Amino acid sequence: MTRLIREALVDATRRLVKAGVGSPALDAQILLSHAMGINKCTMLARSNEKLNEKESINIDHFITRREKREPVAYITGKKEFFSINFTVDKRALIPRPETELLVSAAMESFDTNDPIAVLDLGSGCGAIAISLAYNRPKWKVTAADISLGAIELLRENAHELGLTDSMEIVVSNLFNNLCSKRFNLIISNPPYLNKETDSLEPEIQMYEPELALYADRKGLGVIHEIINNAHNHLEPQGKLMLEIGFGQSGKVLNIFNQSREFLVDQKFNDLQGIERVISAKRV
| Terminal Cα distance for the chain, rounded | 70
Best CA proximity match to 126, nearest among 161, 76, 174, 176: 161
Q: Cα(191)–Cα(216) distance, rounded to whole angstroms?
A: 9
Helix and strand numbers, DSSP H then E, in the chain: 11, 9
Best CA proximity match to 29, nearest among 18, 45, 53: 45
Neighbours of 175 (CB within 10 A): 18
pTM here is 0.94
Task: Return per-residue pLDDT of the chain as tens, 283 residues.
Answer: 579 999 999 999 999 999 999 999 999 999 999 999 999 999 999 999 999 999 999 999 999 999 999 999 999 999 999 999 999 999 999 999 999 999 999 999 998 888 999 999 999 999 999 999 999 999 999 999 999 999 999 999 999 999 999 999 999 999 999 988 999 999 999 999 999 999 999 999 999 999 999 999 999 999 999 999 999 999 999 999 999 999 999 999 999 999 999 999 999 999 999 999 999 999 9
List the domains of the chain with CATH numbers. Answer: 5-68 (1.10.8.10), 79-282 (3.40.50.150)
